[in-house]
Chains A and B, each alone.
Chain A
Amino acid sequence: MNAVYLVAIGSVPSQVMDWIDAIVSEWCPWPVRRLPPLVFPDDSYDTKRGQYKSVEIMKAVARCAPEDTERILGVTEGDLAIPTLTFVFGQAQLDGPVAVVSLSRLRQEFYGLPSDETALKERVAKEVLHELGHTFGLTHCAESKCVMSLATHIGLVDNKEERYCARCGGQLVRRFAAPDGEPT
């Protein structure tokens, strides 16, 4: 049986990895396993922007994926961006095995506010479910409470609930039930 792998890029608190482990185990029918942390690849830091290149981080995550990977999720404290956008909360291959989530902008400290563990835990869970949803072929949902709705700022992440709507959830379950995870 394949597995869903979790891998930290750079240093990530083990407590956060435990939260992610629990939420993925709750939603996915595959065993969840952890890989040893990766160091940031040399070419992944954009000195001009002071941010990490999301595409390079995803490539590094893909490179370390074991044979039996069903999905692999990278987790990093680095602030991620792509050339056209100032930042991304995370990124995924639509219908592909690799996804990555950044904790940087999910932390209250990023916005100059005191640390808030409860808020961070909720946001991490939502982003993980969101990016994993993409890897199983789900696109953004018009239902603003659905975890698959598009969040372009932290307020929209907070506005979502930690669940898929009936339509997205149904699509996901049908996807899990299909042989070899083929799209239904």
Chain B
Amino acid sequence: MKKVWPILVVDDEEVMSESMAAWLREDGYRVDTAANGQAAVELAKATDYAISFIDLKMPGGMDGIETMMEMRRLRPEASIIIITAYATVDTAIQAMKEGAQEYIVKPCHPQEISMLVSRILKLKKLQSENVILRKKISRKYRHHDIITKNPRMEEILALTQDIASLRSTVLICGESGTGKELVARAIHYSGARADKPFVSVSCAALTETLLESELFGHEKGSFTGAEGQTKGKFELADGGTIFLDEIGDISPKLQADLLRVLQEKRFYRVGGTDEVSVDVRVIAATNRNLPEEVKEGRFRDDLYYRLNVIEIKIPPLRERREDIPLLAEHFVQRIASELGKEVAGISGDALKVLIAYDWPGNVRELENVIERAIVTSRNGTLVDSDFTWLTQRNPAGQDWDVPDVPLSELERRAIIAVLERKRGNVKEAAASLGIDRSTLYDKLKRYEIMH
């Protein structure tokens, strides 16, 4: 059903306000009229008008600009159109400066008002849809995607709420697949920045030059292919939160640039000469041992201390096995409904298999395993035989010929083998290895594997 937008018309001349109201009512709007500024402000206290038309000159009492300022104090988002019979540049400038959305000189063509009203209402509609979507997202990430009864995880959840409204930088450490981004989102969507952007960047996935441009944006022509000025993730996250995943992977130059942003809240776009100021909360994450990286000289200690104002260490899934049944049930319900398959649940024997497994890829691996089981299962309930392949591939449960080479070489060979099997598809290879894509890129870089 069409939403009936309320509109207010304010004019001391009744014939003007009533005729305008009648014209707008024919368009299906609910229209109120007020004969002076005070009456308009009183009406605006009770009703959030989508648009208010206010006559500039109203003798004896508040004029149009004063009425508008008072109404905007009550409702900063109010859309106000100032109407005047006397077009002067000064009043137009003043009206716009004080926050009028538009300024029209009466009499104006019906088409002008009609287009103006529909343009403003289209914007209002988008704004209200945006608010609804943001609320939905915020609800989604506040708690219920982090499922746990593990005391350490519960402490982490409590901490995310405590620090949500602070501006302090957060460093989240944990193995791949433990849910570092989920925790970062929980912090963002629980705090005052919840209605502002949450921008996620995987630092391991891009080369130094690309990452620099990705983070800080670039000016037209700053490098081959830079066709126009582009905003970087820091600018896009202005007012909100930037999540820098795999922060341990960034180059020394970017470490210096990042330190500058954290200290001064300003930066330059690539190829730019104008400083850009931003208000961004930084949440960084890594699966590396950063103190070790600092000791080895690969990560700047000053940046480490800047990032590590609040540290959250997420335990691997094998250290919170009590969460496995909860998470497994949650994934079964969610994935089955997404895939449109009727799967009622998971059997006790199957759960035993899952609890016994070590989950090197943590929660993400569990999610992938459940998805695979749902896709291949022919039963209404997932049973232990749906997970047999899991124990067979678990090194702890099987003898295999281990060549006499360093562990890193084993890992390199395993990655190459999986990549070959997946015909170079990094996403699938990462899922198969139980690590996320950025970690796989990191390893490809480290082992100099071309793919």
Residues of chain A touching chain B, judged by Cβ–Cβ distance below 8 Å, are 49, 53-55, 81-88, 91-94, 134, 139-140, 150, 152-153
Partner of B110, one of A53, A85, A92, A94: A85
Interface string of B138-159 (1 = CB under 8 A from A): 0000000000000000000000
Chain B contacts of A85 at CB under 8 A? 20, 23, 106-110, 113
Q: Are B114 and A152 in contact (CB under 8 A)?
A: yes
Q: Output the nearest chain A residue to B110 by Cβ-Cβ distance.
A: A152
Q: Are B111 and A153 in contact (CB under 8 A)?
A: yes
Q: How far is the CA of A160 from the CA of B418 in the complex (A)?
A: 65
Chain B contacts of A54 at CB under 8 A? 19
B16 within 8 A of A: yes
Interface string of B389-415 (1 = CB under 8 A from A): 000000000000000000000000000
Rounded to whole Å, the gap between the CB of A3 and the closest CB of chain B is: 24
Q: Are B15 and A55 in contact (CB under 8 A)?
A: yes
Q: How far is the CA of A53 from the CA of B14 in the complex (A)?
A: 14
Additional A-B contacts beyond A82-B16, A83-B19, A140-B28 (9; CB < 8 A): A53-B15, A82-B19, A82-B20, A84-B53, A85-B23, A86-B109, A92-B22, A140-B26, A150-B27
Interface string of B77-120 (1 = CB under 8 A from A): 00000010000000000000000000010111111011000000
Q: How far is the CA of A34 from the CA of B27 in the complex (A)?
A: 29
Chain B contacts of A83 at CB under 8 A? 13, 15-16, 19-20, 106-107
* Tally of contacts, chain A with chain B, CB under 8 A: 72
A55-B19, A82-B20, A83-B16 given as contacts; is B110 within 8 A of A139 (CB)? no
Rounded to whole Å, the gap between the CB of B114 and the closest CB of chain A is: 5
Tell me whether chain A's interface is mostly helix, strand or loop, or mixed. Answer: mixed
Tell me whether chain B's interface is mostly helix, strand or loop, or mixed. Answer: helix
- Chain B's interface size range is 20 to 34
Chain B contacts of A150 at CB under 8 A? 26-27, 114
Rounded to whole Å, the gap between the CB of A60 and the closest CB of chain B is: 14
B18 within 8 A of A: yes
Rounded to whole Å, the gap between the CB of B8 and the closest CB of chain A is: 14
Chain B contacts of A153 at CB under 8 A? 110-111
B25 within 8 A of A: yes
Chain A contacts of B13 at CB under 8 A? 83
Q: Are B106 and A87 in contact (CB under 8 A)?
A: no
Q: Are A84 and B108 in contact (CB under 8 A)?
A: yes
Q: Give 28 pairs: A residue, B residue, CB < 8 Å, sorted on A.
A: A54-B19, A55-B15, A55-B19, A82-B16, A82-B19, A82-B20, A82-B23, A83-B16, A83-B107, A84-B106, A85-B20, A85-B23, A85-B107, A85-B108, A86-B107, A86-B108, A86-B109, A91-B19, A91-B23, A92-B26, A93-B22, A94-B25, A94-B26, A134-B26, A139-B27, A140-B26, A140-B27, A152-B109
